[in-house]
Amino acid sequence: MQLTFRNKFAESNRQSTVNYDASPHNTRYKYEIKTFDVRGFLWEIAPQFDALVIFAEHRYYGESLPYGNRSFADPRHLGYLTSQQALADYVELIGYLRSKREYNRSPVIVFGGSYGGMLSAWMRMKYPHIVQGAIAASAPILQFTDIVTCEAFARITTSDFRASNPTCPQLIRKAWSTITEVTSNDEGKKWLSNNWKLCEPLKTAEHVQTLKDFLQEVYINLAMVNYPYETNFLAPLPGNPINVFCQHLTNSSLTGKPLLSTLYRAISVYTNYTGQASCISTKNAAPDLGDQGWDYQACTEMVMPMCTDGVNDMFEPAEWNFKEYNNTCFKKYSVSSQPYLACQQFGCKNLNTVTNINFSNGLLDPWASGGVLRNLSSSAVAILIPDAAHHLDLRESNSNDSYNVIVTRKFHRYSIKKWIAEYRQNF
């Protein structure tokens, strides 16, 4: 059976080279096409290569819904939501563009960050005759079962906070049990709800767990978007937000309610940097950017084991339990998780034949845990950026960019120029 539908895509600069972005791009959060103003690097280099820039929306995200409002109704309708199908969509789109006379000899370079970076890398691996090169920023193509240890993500997150202030992660770790103790009775739940100005007052143990999940998400997001200047990506944030956050957590003697009051001031850096929020909602630490589609993919093919031990990281201990994970996914979608599928389809080992991919990873980014950190071949190279967070190199240039970020962007330009020259020489 062949499924035919229209993917939404946007284009700019009708020129020769096709710079193609395999959207959506972030890891934990997947985006509608309209949010791609965070890709300033593409706009900056497009004139240099006389390029047509295409942003293609991933099937089942944004407005690209194969079955309209029934796309998420049941497994029969959801079954076409896979990375393989998304790549095939992109091949179809590139073929359509190349059918036009002005583009029929145009080289194609794909870009992406996080999941989009994974798609970009896999696009080059699977369709090297279609795509001449790929920039895969913060692409955790190794974040799968038996490839990367499940603790790695949490340890990188913790190290970011520790680098700002060693006391900071210690107090975060201490706060988990403090929250449990304070909210063990109705009076404590009421106190924390009022003190933290929660939009949804704590009434049950389930509400408390939701709050803890929210906090974990906040800490991870702060590590991901720990950029050196003000941004409004997952939330309005100051430059170097972890430093600003940890400025509040310096007194190692804090315990009990004073600790939680201080933690609230730190968390407000993320939840209310603008000062305009009247209360904190614990439902989600980031805007709804297509979570339903990603949640389904995380249940089927993008099974990325995560765990914490509460010793080498600042989180509550939580083992990776695939059986429990699979059961939860089956209850939600009536599908079984396939933890080895991505590696079976695209490869996670012995990738030395891969060519023309720049794997860039900021070492402040927790997703570097699953990134390619060593060269795979002479032209599939690992670029390590010590002072960068999640796909910072794909953002537009900023006066606060470090030397390492500037050099990385220069190398991307050099690589693209080289790939295009090779294509035209062999055309």
Q: How confident is the model at residue 89, as a pLDDT?
A: 96
Pair of tokens at residue 125: 């691996």
Active-site residue identified among 21, 160, 365, 401:
365
pLDDT for the residue numbered 427: 77
What pLDDT score does 2 carry?
41
Please count the other Cβ atoms lying within 10 Å of the Cβ belonging to residue 381: 17
Q: How far apart are the first and last CA of the chain?
A: 35
Structural contact between residues 137 and 46, judged by C-beta atoms closer than 8 angstroms: no
Query: Of 83, 114, 164, 193, which one is the catalytic site residue?
Result: 114
User: Which is catalytic among the residues 25, 58, 248, 390?
Assistant: 390
Residue appearing with tokens 């790939």 = 419
Question: Is 390 known to be catalytic?
Answer: yes
365 in catalytic set: yes
Read off the amino acid at residue 332: K
Closest CA to 250 of 312, 193, 191, 169: 169
The residue count for the chain: 427
- pLDDT (tens, 9 = 90+) of the chain, 427 residues, equals 344 445 665 565 544 455 655 443 332 334 455 554 557 999 999 999 999 999 999 999 988 999 998 999 888 899 999 999 999 999 999 999 999 999 999 999 999 999 999 999 999 999 999 999 999 999 999 999 999 999 999 999 999 999 999 999 999 999 999 999 999 999 999 999 999 999 999 999 999 999 999 999 999 999 999 999 999 988 999 999 999 999 999 999 999 999 999 999 999 999 999 999 999 999 876 555 457 899 999 999 999 999 999 999 999 999 999 999 999 999 999 999 999 999 999 999 999 999 999 999 999 999 999 999 999 999 999 999 999 999 999 999 999 999 999 999 999 999 999 999 999 998 7
Q: Domains in the chain, start-ordered, CATH in brackets? A: 36-142+348-425 (3.40.50.1820), 151-337 (1.20.120.980)
Between CA 385 and CA 367 the distance in angstroms is 13
Residue 380 is which amino acid? A
Can you tell me the distance from the alpha carbon of 30 to that of 11, in angstroms, rounded to the nearest whole number?
20
User: What pLDDT score does 233 carry?
Assistant: 87
| Predicted local confidence at residue 17, as pLDDT | 53
